[in-house]
Amino acid sequence: MTAQTLAVNLDPLAKPFFKRVQIALIPIAILFAFAFPFLFSNPAITSIAMFTMIYLGATSAWNLFSGFSGYMALGHAVFYGTGAYAFANITEHFHLNGNIWLFALVPVCGLAAGLIAAPIGWLALRTRRHVFVVITIAIFFIFQLLAYNLTGITNGSAGLQVPSPTWGAATYNDYFYVAALVVALFAIFLSYSIRRSRFGLELLAIRDDEDRARGLGVKTTKVKLITFMISGSVTGMCGAIYAYYLGSVYPPFAFEAIFDVTIALMAFLGGLGTVLGPVLGALIIEPSQQYLNLKFTNGGYALIMFGLVFLVIIRFLPEGVLPSLANLWRKKLKSREKEGSK
Amino acid sequence: MEIINIAQGILVILAAYLSYSLQVHMHIDPFVGLLLTTPIMFIVGVVIEWGFIRRLKMQNRTAFSILVTYAVSIVIEGILTLFYSTNLKTISAWYVTKSIKVFNFYLPYIYLMGFVLAAVLLFALYLFLYKSQSGASIRAAVQNRTGAELIGININRVSAITFGVGAAATAGGGMIFGATNSFNPNTSYDLISRLLVIVVLGGLGSIGGALLAAILALVIEDVTAVVWSPIWASTMFFAVLIVILIVRPNGLFGQKAARAQ
């Protein structure tokens, strides 16, 4: 290959080789994901897979807002919890039985979380940067307290019961897995289409320089708020599935501080602001965390390992796994080009 | 300095465990123990800065500082869980249970001593930041990092000292916290949420603002608890926080952030 063709390959507009591989891999990956419960029917494994899919959807949704707009929201557990409580309340109010059709409620719960996201976003998005981060954390704690105290809706710390599914124990996880997978694919598809749209470009412009974007005619508040609501509703859907899986909703499970940071971590690990980065991050972190929790009975070891792995990744792959690898790849191409021109 | 330290919560707990261990295993009074724990916490802070914060790239520093300090706090939490398990502990001494009668109110000694200690620490911090050479360097670095570097301030050293002092201050705070509350490694989540909220309410980078916000927070909580109901105490505080932030998005004494460019 001459140096010139390599230079063309470096052009971001041209489709590089590995991009074509990616496109070919996507249908295979989706097929494999759907076939997963048939290949590995061990309930311990399918349960881990189910949690991975829930987190995959949530972290993609988080990245959709925070990764693209640059606003670090650390309160997405609010929407997760809202989705969970919406699910519990709807099933209780209409005396629904636990069958497969209950999954149809998941989008409704997502809608509820999206509605909650509107006033929160309106309030929090008046600020920027660190203040925004802290306000989202504060709002999270308000919701956690409300979950304990608004006993009319949440039944306080006694929690709410969700109808238990009618299908058998052997395939118990599989239905939840498929539902979570569908939500996760939906989140990835949303990120992809937003990333490729004008709307997504406006978001990226806000991330790079909000004042300038505004000066150029981007309706920044509207764009940010809409994305925040979309992100919140997808997170709410994940929460609803989680509630159905657990069979009950309690404040500490629905509004979990660690959830906020975990999804942010996953997105960071894979590559913030990319479509596939959060997917990769969730696929790495969630199974390893679940595995560590199973492996070590003393929670201390799992925490230390998790923290250390995390530190190492930030130290050596600061932009996340995907962008760092892409950089390495680009460097390699460049050095090869230099050798070729000699 | 564009750094948000999430690990502060776990550092308070770490300091509380240090005081606890000194007292239980070596029978050193927690207040005397401060002479030991303060330098230890200072070193811990410097090590965290040197090991992790210093290595952050300039781009996106704030976001990464949150992640890195969170990871550090997970590791410390894991180590504490390993050594002390998750059982609730509390520091006990004669002055924790005894109280003094002031105008018909019974006031536990520990609250009085805690108040004095907090006042002394705050005053020392003020002196350090506003009257000493290092303090001037810190403030210069906060205002303009590049400018401070240009006039010969060693940013790395300043950053390490700032982190060290921040951690050293937790020695006293952790000891009082451990004596007035029962704690386990998980308690740090509660603490850090409160600390963050108080700092934002006061305005980032303002000592006076933080002091006022801390007093405001506790007064609102306690008054709500007595007048209305204890379960709404924290909610009330957070609600006030939101109202204030609607009016003043950068906190009570926060300066409007300059346009990042």
Across A201-205, A255-259, A333-337, the highest mean pLDDT is recorded for A201-205
Q: Model confidence at B42, in pLDDT bands (50, 70, 90)? A: very high
**pLDDT tens track for A271-328:** 888 888 888 888 888 888 888 777 776 667 777 887 887 788 777 777 777 777 778 8
ipTM of the complex: 0.74
Q: Does A134 touch chain B (CB under 8 A)?
A: yes
CB contact under 8 A, A130 and B72: no
The per-residue pLDDT for A340 is 64
Rounded-to-10 torsion of CA B123, B127, B130, B135? -120
**In the 8-state DSSP scheme, what is residue B89?**
B
What pLDDT score does A341 carry? Answer: 59
DSSP code, position A64: I
Strands (E), chain A: 160-161, 248-249
Q: Average pLDDT for residues B216-220, to the nearest whole number?
A: 85
Task: Calculate the alpha carbon distances from B59 to A324, B63, B259 in Å.
Answer: 15, 9, 15
CB A291 within 8 A of CB A45: no
A342, pLDDT greater than 70: no
**Pick the residue with more confidence: A139 or A258?**
A139
Task: Tell whether B62 lies on the interface with A, counting CB pairs under 8 A.
Answer: yes
Confidence of residue A229 (pLDDT cuts 50, 70, 90): very high
Contacting residues of A for B52, CB less than 8 Å apart: 311, 315
Q: What is the mean pLDDT of chain B?
A: 81
In this model, does residue B239 exceed pLDDT 50? yes
Return the ∠ at Cα A114 (arms to A112 and A118), rounded to 5°.
115
Nearest CB to A303 within list B4, B81, B196? B81
Nearest 10 degrees: Cα torsion B9, B13, B14, B18: 150
State the pLDDT confidence band at B255, using cuts at 50, 70 and 90: low
d(CA B111, CA B60): 41
Q: What is the pLDDT of residue B26?
A: 83
pLDDT at A48 over 70: yes
Confidence of residue B258 (pLDDT cuts 50, 70, 90): very low
Computed over every residue of chain A, the mean pLDDT equals: 81
pLDDT of residue A15: 55
Q: How far is B79 from chain A (nearest CA, A)?
A: 6
Beta-carbon separation of B235 and A310 below 8 A: no
Cβ neighbourhood burial of B69 (10 Å; 0-12, 13-18, 19+): buried
pLDDT of A264: 83
pLDDT at A235: 92
CB A84 within 8 A of CB A249: yes
Mean pLDDT of A62-76: 87
> Mean pLDDT across the stretch B137-152?
85
Residue type, A306: F
- Residue B93 touches chain A, beta carbons under 8 Å: no
Among A54-68, A182-196, A211-225, B192-206, the minimum mean pLDDT is found in: B192-206
Q: Which amino acid is at B233?
A: A
Distance between CA atoms of B72 and B70, rounded to whole angstroms? 5
Of the pLDDT bands very low, low, confident and very high (cuts 50, 70, 90), residue B43 is very high
Taking the Cβ of residue A313 and every Cβ of chain B, the question of whether any pair is shorter than 8 Å is answered with no
Measured between beta carbons, the chain B residues lying within 8 angstroms of A265 are 67, 70
- For the full predicted model, state whether its pTM sits above 0.90: no
Nearest CA in chain A to B247: A126
Amino acid at B89: K
Q: Which residue among B63, B73, B197 sits closest to A138, beta carbon to beta carbon?
A: B197
pLDDT band at A17 (very low <50, low <70, confident <90, very high): low
pLDDT digits (tens, 9 = 90+) for B196-209: 778 878 877 677 78
Give the pLDDT score at A2: 40
Search chain A and give the residue with CA nearest B56.
A315
pLDDT of residue A95: 76
Higher per-residue pLDDT: B86 or B135: B135
Q: How confident is the model at residue B130 (pLDDT cuts 50, 70, 90)?
A: confident
Question: Which chain B residue is nearest to residue A126, measuring alpha carbons?
Answer: B249
Residue of A nearest to B185 (CA): A300
Residues of chain A with pLDDT > 70, as a percent, come to 92
Answer with the residue of higher pLDDT: A318 or A135.
Answer: A135
Q: Which residues of B touch A145 (CB under 8 A)?
A: 234-235, 238
Residue A4 confidence (pLDDT)? 41
Whether residue B102 has pLDDT greater than 80:
no
Q: Which residue has the higher pLDDT, A204 or A273?
A: A204
Lowest mean pLDDT among A288-297, B7-16, B69-78, B143-152: A288-297
Say yes or no: B31 contacts chain A, CB-CB below 8 A. Answer: no
**More confidently predicted of B8 and B251:** B8
> From the CA of B249, how many Å to the nearest CA of chain A?
6
The predicted pLDDT at position A227 comes to 92
Check if A265 contacts B (Cβ < 8 Å): yes
**Most confident by average pLDDT, A35-39, A88-92, B246-250, B252-256:** A88-92
On whether any CB of chain A is under 8 Å from the CB of B202, the answer is no
Measure A265 CA to nearest chain B CA, in Å.
7
B positions 42-61 inside 8 Å of A (CB): 52, 55-57
Reported as a pLDDT band with limits 50, 70 and 90, residue B58 is low
Cross-chain residue pair A138–B193, CB shorter than 8 Å: yes
